[in-house]
């Protein structure tokens, strides 16, 4: 074809312009102004802040392209075994700062901008982050991409290029209101559209059996709709290495010719309408966190990106001249929860129907290729699709799942005998009251490895939701405790602390986080301690200014910053935190001269738009803030702020400025948590339950450096089994009763006793997340925290340093290395930058 014949015959060697690669200050400035002029079409006198951002982004991107193209070429040439991360969400955060850090060019660009009279940070603030995820699960995917690139692991991330990411959160009268996210409004300089690798995805219709020329029974899927998936690629640069992997996100469009008929019939509206319907698939991210939305469009999204990605992998395999049987040698595919689990049926379909492979071989390839990560124990988050819906969208996949199930249940019978209850529990099809396809069961059967995201979580999986599968396939179960990237969560977001650490233990720690333990040698060094304290203070002053700008509230940077930032969910128990604030407030009202530790309570987080109780919890927090922040009796000793629109960008200045990290979920409900790691890494102390990765954080930092409270997961289970009666805690605890009654009285709702009634009724009558049972333990622990902060500042500082020093385990590099060794069996491939002119020849 045209492209390859050009490549073969071209006498040209393409000259790479120095302005696109050069690194001297003069070149950087010239390149930036050149991009402003020629890409943005602006001269400096009329350029806006957005223009400066775009010009700078292109200048940085130019300096990544050699890394990116050399990486791709090396992987193709060496047939590199590749880890594929399939995820419906990637919560990448702003790219500009991260790319500058990973390129090692942050300081240089800062200076270049300064010499042009511009400010790098202000330009960085212009970036609209791609909010293509809800929370922990999507952010974990982003940290893992950063670590895979940094560890030089050949990898590909596949997902959906949502036109509208997670909604923007605003407030009206203390209630959350949602505004659509418009991250693409100003264009996205980091992505490259690749229409030449578009694929078609079938949806709906029916199947037809036929006998092929060799007399074999085959199935043909006749869809009633076809959509086109267009890949958009973004380079994912490693830290101080040449590796730049790819994040490939799919956009849904209509096939050019698909409604040509309607168009020709003169049905212009019909043709355009079918285009709009196709584009709906990648239009918007479902904004639910730990709750499944059983909508047709959601299933279409999941199938769409999975099918696009598998077709793309097969294209890549074949373009390297490898046979289909080599799929599991070329690729290992990690399923980020069950959202992409339909990949198991789709790969079977591609192999058996499209490529006429025998079932048994196809099944062996499929099982070898996939591994499944579970992120939740909440039953309402486990994906199950109504069978009629699944069958109407994916008729062939339903047949394939039936066949997988038939063979699988025979295997169950063989091992356990005719245990009908077990068979009913393990079946891929749920038949008790409506029929459903169970995606977790499909993921377990079709994968060779199954992992939880913290030790406790993996153990609970084996004992509860996946017990039957553990008994059948014990060898598949492994734990992979989550981690976070120290590049974004320390080097970029806490530059002052990063610099102090560099000065004392050298500069290797961002990729060898265990080296932070060397900081322990300085824990009694007065000069180091002083600097540690002053950096925390400086970070707090910076956040104080931001809080005033965003909320109008003036907070005291010398108060304790007590922070809970995460999605709003009943199991995460922001309501428990609110009960503590009200407890302190009542104490001050009863005794205005009471000595208490001044605190600033900082909240941030979004509630799913349809999650009434979560929105009511937000309203409670803002309502308490409205009263407490203004009451003269409080004399500014308590402040409550809710920072709006929590996202990666807004979170970055919060972790470095916090003193106390609230990790207070009901034990047994938070699979891991990753915010807990970001706080401790930045020297904030945790008040937390024995839940998720808190358990391991406490093990690492030492029990004496962690504020523990609350029931254990086993105690929670036992309490519920014995018949939990929350109102008894209310009746028997005068202070708790006073707090609850104050809310019920309408004190925080302008005298209205209805507003918070659903929340109070729920706590007194159900209290699924045992808030009242843990109340006293939490309050006692908080009283202790307050005392240590106020009266034992030297010890607090020591604990802060030791927390950071002992967080080495929680680097996402450690987690990715474990995946590579124990699940993926993928090795690093180091990249040498290629001469572009030689690539053409």
| Catalytic residue annotation | 375, 566-567, 572, 674, 678
Dist CA 317 CA 312 (whole Å): 9
For the chain, the distance separating the N- and C-terminal CA atoms, rounded to the nearest angstrom, is 17
DSSP for 377-405, please give it.
Answer: --GGGS-EEEHHHHHHH-HHHHHHHHHHH
Looking at the Cβ atoms of 457 and 615, the one nearer to ligand F58 is 457
Looking at the Cβ atoms of 460 and 671, the one nearer to ligand F58 is 671
Q: Which positions lie near ligand F58, rule CB under 6 A?
A: 134-137, 140, 288-290, 292, 375-376, 381, 453, 482, 670-674, 692
Closest to 241 (Cα-Cα) out of 332, 148, 110, 158: 148
Looking at the Cβ atoms of 166 and 362, the one nearer to ligand F58 is 166
DSSP for 733-781, please give it.
Answer: -HHHHHHHHHHHTTTTTTT-SSTTHHHHHHHHHT-TT-HHHHHHHHHHH
Planar angle of CA 167, 173, 174, nearest 5 degrees: 65
Closest to 372 (Cα-Cα) out of 312, 438, 285: 438
Burial 547-577 (b: 16+ CB within 10 A, else e): beeebebebebebbbbbbbbbbbbbbbbbbb
Question: Count of H helices and E strands in the chain?
Answer: 36, 25
Looking at the Cβ atoms of 240 and 479, the one nearer to ligand F58 is 479
Looking at the Cβ atoms of 93 and 673, the one nearer to ligand F58 is 673
**Distance of closest approach, residue 665 Cβ to ligand F58, in angstroms:** 8
Question: Dihedral, CA atoms, 45, 51, 54, 56, nearest 10 degrees?
Answer: 30
Question: Which residue's Cβ lies closest to ligand F58?
Answer: 136
Residues 6 or more apart whose Cβ sits within 8 Å of residue 119: 113
Looking at the Cβ atoms of 34 and 289, the one nearer to ligand F58 is 289
Q: Helices 734-744 and 771-791 sit at what angle, rounded to 10 degrees?
A: 110
Taking the CA of residue 343 as centre, how many other CA atoms within 13 Å lie in the half-sphere pointing to its CB? 35
Dist CA 395 CA 340 (whole Å): 17
Closest to 143 (Cα-Cα) out of 654, 488, 507, 374: 488
Strands, E assignment, 56-215: 82-86, 90-91, 131-132, 155-160, 168-172, 175-179, 192-193, 199-203, 206-211
**Distance of closest approach, residue 779 Cβ to ligand F58, in angstroms:** 25
Looking at the Cβ atoms of 446 and 692, the one nearer to ligand F58 is 692
What DSSP designation does 484 have?
B
Looking at the Cβ atoms of 191 and 670, the one nearer to ligand F58 is 670
Looking at the Cβ atoms of 301 and 600, the one nearer to ligand F58 is 301
**Distance of closest approach, residue 566 Cβ to ligand F58, in angstroms:** 9
Bridging pattern class, strands 131-132 and 90-91: antiparallel
Looking at the Cβ atoms of 461 and 588, the one nearer to ligand F58 is 461
Dist CA 538 CA 672 (whole Å): 30
Residues 6 or more apart whose Cβ sits within 8 Å of residue 399: 207, 219
CA-to-CA separations, 283 to 14, 275, 279, 295, in angstroms, rounded: 38, 13, 7, 14
Closest to 454 (Cα-Cα) out of 484, 477, 480, 476: 480
Looking at the Cβ atoms of 136 and 726, the one nearer to ligand F58 is 136
Would you state the structure tokens that stand for residue 803, as one six-digit string?
């927390």
Would you state the structure tokens that stand for residue 724, as one six-digit string?
């939990």
Would you state the structure tokens that stand for residue 606, as one six-digit string?
């979004």
């Amino acid at each position: 074809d045209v492209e390859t014949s050009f490549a073969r015959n071209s006498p040209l060697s393409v000259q790479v312009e120095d302005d696109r690669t050069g690194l001297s200050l003069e070149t950087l400035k010239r390149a930036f102004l050149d991009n402003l002029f020629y890409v943005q079409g602006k001269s400096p006198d009329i350029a806006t802040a957005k223009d400066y951002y775009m010009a700078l982004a292109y200048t940085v991107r130019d300096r990544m392209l050699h890394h990116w193209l050399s990486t791709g070429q090396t992987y193709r040439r060496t047939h590199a075994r590749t880890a594929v991360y399939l995820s419906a969400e990637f919560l990448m955060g702003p790219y500009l700062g991260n790319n500058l850090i990973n390129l090692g060019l942050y300081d240089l660009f800062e200076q270049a901008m300064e010499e042009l009279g511009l400010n790098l940070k202000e330009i960085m603030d212009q970036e609209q982050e791609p909010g293509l995820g809800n929370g922990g699960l999507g952010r974990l995917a982003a940290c893992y991409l950063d670590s895979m690139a940094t560890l030089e692991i050949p990898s590909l991330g596949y997902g959906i290029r949502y036109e509208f990411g997670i909604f923007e959160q605003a407030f009206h009268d203390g209630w959350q209101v949602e505004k659509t996210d418009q991250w693409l409004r100003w264009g996205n300089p980091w992505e490259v559209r690749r229409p030449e690798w578009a694929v078609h995805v079938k949806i709906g219709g029916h199947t037809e059996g036929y006998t092929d020329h060799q007399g074999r029974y085959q199935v043909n899927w006749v869809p009633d709709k076809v959509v086109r998936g267009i890949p958009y690629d973004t380079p994912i640069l490693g830290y101080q290495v040449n590796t730049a992997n790819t994040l490939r996100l799919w956009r849904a469009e209509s096939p050019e010719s698909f409604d040509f008929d309607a168009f020709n019939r003169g049905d212009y509206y019909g043709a355009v309408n079918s285009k709009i319907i196709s584009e709906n698939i990648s239009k918007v991210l479902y904004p639910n966190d730990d709750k499944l939305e059983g909508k047709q469009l959601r299933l279409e999204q999941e199938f769409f990106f999975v099918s696009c990605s598998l077709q793309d992998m097969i294209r890549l395999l074949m373009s390297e001249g490898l046979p289909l049987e080599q799929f599991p040698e070329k690729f290992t595919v990690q399923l980020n929860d069950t959202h992409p689990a339909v990949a198991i049926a789709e790969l079977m379909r591609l192999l058996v129907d499209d490529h006429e492979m025998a079932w048994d071989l196809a099944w062996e390839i499929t099982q070898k290729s996939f591994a499944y990560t579970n992120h939740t124990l909440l039953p309402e988050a486990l994906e199950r699709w109504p069978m009629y819906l699944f069958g109407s969208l994916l008729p062939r996949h339903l047949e394939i799942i039936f066949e997988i199930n038939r063979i699988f249940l025979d295997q169950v019978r063989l091992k356990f005998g005719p245990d009908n209850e077990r068979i009913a529990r393990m079946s891929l099809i749920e038949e008790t009251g409506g029929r459903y396809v169970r995606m977790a069961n499909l993921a377990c059967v079709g994968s060779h490895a199954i992992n939880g995201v913290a030790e406790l979580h993996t153990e609970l999986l084996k004992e509860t939701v996946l017990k039957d599968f553990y008994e059948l396939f014990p060898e598949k179960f492994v734990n992979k405790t989550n981690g976070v990237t120290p590049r974004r969560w320390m080097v970029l977001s806490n530059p002052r602390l990063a610099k102090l650490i560099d000065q004392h233990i050298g500069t290797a720690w961002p990729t060898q986080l265990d080296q932070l333990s060397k900081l322990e040698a300085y824990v009694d060094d007065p000069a180091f301690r002083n600097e540690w304290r002053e950096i925390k203070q400086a970070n707090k002053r910076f956040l104080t200014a931001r809080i005033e700008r965003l909320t109008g509230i003036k907070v005291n940077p010398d108060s304790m910053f007590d922070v809970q930032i995460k999605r709003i969910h009943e199991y995460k128990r922001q309501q428990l935190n609110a009960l503590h604030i009200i407890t302190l407030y009542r104490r001050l009202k009863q005794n205005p001269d009471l000595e208490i530790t001044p605190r600033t309570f900082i909240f941030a987080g979004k509630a799913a738009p349809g999650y009434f109780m979560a929105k009511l919890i937000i309203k409670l927090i803002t309502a308490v803030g409205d009263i407490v922040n203004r009451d003269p009796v409080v004399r500014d000793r308590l402040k409550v702020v809710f920072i709006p629109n929590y996202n990666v960008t807004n979170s970055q200045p919060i972790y470095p400025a916090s003193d106390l990290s609230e990790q207070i979920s009901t034990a047994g409900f938070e699979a891991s948590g990753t915010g807990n790691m970001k706080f401790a890494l930045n020297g904030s102390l945790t008040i937390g339950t024995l839940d998720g990765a808190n358990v391991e954080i406490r093990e690492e930092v030492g029990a004496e450096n962690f504020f523990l409270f609350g029931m254990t997961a086993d105690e929670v289970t036992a309490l519920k089994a014995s018949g939990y009666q929350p109102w008894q805690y209310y009746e028997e605890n005068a202070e708790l009763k006073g707090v609850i009654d104050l809310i019920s009285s309408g004190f925080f709702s302008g005298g209205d006793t209805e507003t918070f009634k659903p929340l109070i009724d729920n706590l007194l009558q159900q209290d699924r997340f045992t808030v009242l049972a843990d109340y006293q333990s939490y309050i006692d622990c908080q009283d202790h925290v307050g005392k240590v902060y106020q009266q034992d500042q030297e010890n607090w500082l020591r604990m802060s340093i030791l927390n950071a020093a002992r967080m080495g385990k929680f680097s996402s590099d450690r987690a990715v290395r474990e995946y590579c060794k124990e699940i993926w069996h993928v090795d690093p491939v180091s990249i040498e930058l290629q001469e572009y002119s030689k690539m053409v020849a």
